[in-house]
Amino acid sequence: MTAIIDSDLGFPYFNAIDSLFNEGVTLRPLKEKKLTNILPRLLKETVSFGLGTRNLLGRLLLVLIPYSIKLVTEWPLKSKLDPKIYGPSESAITTEIIEQEIRGFMTLKEAINQKKLFIIDFHDLFLPYVSKVREIKGTTFYGSRTLFFLSPDGTLRPLAIELTRPPLDGKPQWKEVFTPSWNATGVWLWRLAKAHVLAQESGYRQLVSHWLRTHAATEPYIIATNRQLSVIHPIYRLLHPHFRYTMEINAFAREVLINGGGIIENSFSPAKYSMEFSSVAYDQLWQFNLQALPADLISSLKLTIEDYPFANDGLVLWDSMKEWVSDYVNHHYPEPSLIESDQELQQWWTEILTVGHGDKKDEPCWPVLKTDSLCGIKLNK
């Protein structure tokens, strides 16, 4: 929000950060109803999240990016980036650091075996952009990892945050681990580390979870639906209410949100590399078969968290949608042969694979078009 109001405006002292979250912000009178004037008012309520430990969890787990939390299954943590370019791959989060934070509960090995250790890993996605983003005046940037422990009461507790800078300007790689602290310096270092993670979370959420998954990756289906299916085709009639206005929204976003020098580039950590970052995330992360429940939950083993509204509520909604879509598809295609002989439908699916997502057409994530998979395809979109 500060970037929207004044890109050069900073915080004069640490307590000013606290006051932002505790007292909110005073907005100038609204003179024109432009998006840049309205947006801070839309965001005003979000400042109540603050930098507290429980607020961090609430923001990450319940509100914005439940997709990013994954179960830790391997130790030690290692980067997959080229160490010749980005420095040593081993994480600075050691067994000793984790066991210091969970002492009295269990050992690290026990925590992993009992599926109690979780991670939000932005390290490899963001680290390649650190050097480039830091060239922009008034910015700083890191790769990050955040470790969480699933407590006996079913809540996640943050254990450690690792921030990493790759080799830069003749200096070797720098990485530091921050943990919850009670002394004044440690408290502020922990807060600043959390602020970096929250900033990255906001960027990831908007550029990947929102723009990429909800808007950009959906365009090939909308285009193919309008080009290959007649308006009286049962699948067109099923999809049309869901796709309606999406292309208009995307066109508007390209004009005033994700355009060069626009709101997104001025508001989120990757700055002018935001759209490039979104494209790289598509290349590295996007798989058709993991775009919907429950596959995305199973793939990252997040169903082990009981207090996880995204999964608990989402699966109830998913079951209802699956039942309705399955009944609809089975009504119009009671025999599998009807799908195979539907030329419009076959051309629609071929265009999606070979044109819309042509760069991923040979990946194993695409189902063969038949009755069950047709239901899944509709639910994934």
DSSP string computed for 5-28: H-TT---SSHHHHHHHHHH--PPP
pLDDT greater than 80 at residue 46? no
Tokens of residue 68, six digits: 């990013």
In whole angstroms, give the CA distance from residue 299 to residue 361.
Answer: 21
Taking residues 151-158, report their average pLDDT: 82
pLDDT greater than 60 at residue 34? no
Q: Which of these, 242, 252, 79, lies nearest to 166 by C-alpha position? A: 79
Taking residues 62-85, report their average pLDDT: 82
Looking at 186, 203, 220, which one is the last position of a domain? 203
pLDDT of residue 381: 58
Give the chain's domain count.
Answer: 3
Tokens of residue 279, six digits: 């494209």
pLDDT greater than 50 at residue 221? yes
Among positive and negative, which fits the CA dihedral 328, 333, 336, 338? negative
In percent, the amount of the chain with pLDDT more than 90 equals: 40
Looking at 180, 203, 226, which one is the last position of a domain? 203
Q: Do 224 and 239 lie in a common domain?
A: yes
Contact 349, 229 (CB under 8 A): no
pLDDT greater than 50 at residue 63? no
Q: Do 40 and 56 lie in a common domain?
A: no
Taking residues 83-98, report their average pLDDT: 94
| Strand (E) or helix (H) holding 216 | none
Q: CATH no. for residue 131?
A: 3.10.450.60
Q: Do 79 and 194 lie in a common domain?
A: yes
Which range (23-37, 107-121, 195-209, 318-332) has the least confidence? Answer: 23-37
Q: Do 181 and 64 lie in a common domain?
A: yes
Looking at 203, 226, 250, which one is the last position of a domain? 203
Tokens of residue 227, six digits: 């080009």
Which range (54-63, 105-114, 276-285, 340-349) has the least confidence? Answer: 54-63
Q: Which of these, 123, 128, 125, 218, lies nearest to 175 by C-alpha position? A: 123
Structural domain that includes position 96: 51-203
In whole angstroms, give the CA distance from residue 89 to residue 111.
Answer: 23
Q: Do 167 and 231 lie in a common domain?
A: no
Q: Do 272 and 307 lie in a common domain?
A: yes
